[in-house]
Amino acid sequence: MSKLALVTGATSGIGKAFAERLAADGYDLVLVGRRQERLEDFAASHPEVKVRTVAADLSTVAGIDTAAGICATEPLTVLVNNAGVALYMPLAELPADKATELVNVKVLAPTMLTRAVVAGMQERGEGTIINVAGMIAFSGPAPHSQMPRRAVYGGSLAYLVAMSQTLSAELEGTGVTVQVVCPGVVATEFHERQGLDMSRVPRMTAEDVLTASLRGLELGETVCAPGVEDADLLDAVFQADLAAFGAQSPELATRYRTA
């Protein structure tokens, strides 16, 4: 049986890089994106594999349902939850519809697509789920002078990290692998859509992000940080998380008791 992969946000950047590599590796593809013409262009340029194009907007319930339906019914070997939306602004200035769009694309869509695909992967005893987040997931403790003004965006990426780690543990021994990729600034169209000029900012290529993800899978990394040289830094973060989690008590902490 041929290998089958579904990639969201597949028309540019990291998603397109994943689609290109998967096609080169002989995977048939289901490509999900908002721009039908780009999806069709990709399919036309890759006649060596079967490419199903799905024009769906993952900021909408209908779009999520369409993609999740495919995840639930097709024998996917790989799911790449890559779709993103560039909405950087303070929460007080973020319009309600834009907040909904962001949460739908980066939280609800990956959750529902993963939920739809995971049972089938477990039954088949194999599968890979890759969630694309970013290093902003780790920026929450930054002070006001440093913290980027994008609370909802940062929170959504942190959700992807926590979900991926927890799901990876749930699926241990099933043959299903979960990874979350956390690049820094990447040279894609992502920032241009918000009118941000990043031309002078050092940026990683989408292909480098892809290379790190695939090598990270070989290394058994659940959290892949392509631009972090010292992996011990990530381990220290996760160990601190577990230490705090394990230190909880039913007794009120001393610092909260009144004199």
SS (H, E, C) 85-110: CCCCCCHHHCCHHHHHHHHHHHHHHH
Residue 210 token pair: 């892809």
Pairing of strands 78-81, 4-8: parallel
Q: How far apart are CA 35 and CA 53, in angstroms?
A: 10
List the catalytic residue out of 27, 153, 159, 256: 153
Q: For residue 142, give both structure tokens.
A: 């930054």
DSSP structure class, residue 6: E
Locate 21 and state its tokens: 């590599």
Region for residue 92 given its phi and psi (left: phi exceeds 0; alpha: psi -120 to 50; beta: otherwise) = alpha
| Residue listed under structure tokens 């049972």 | 119
Angle at 164 between CA 124 and CA 227, to 5 degrees: 120
Amino acid at the residue 242:
L
Residue 153 bears catalytic tag: yes
* Amino acid symbol at 65: D
- Known catalytic residues are 153
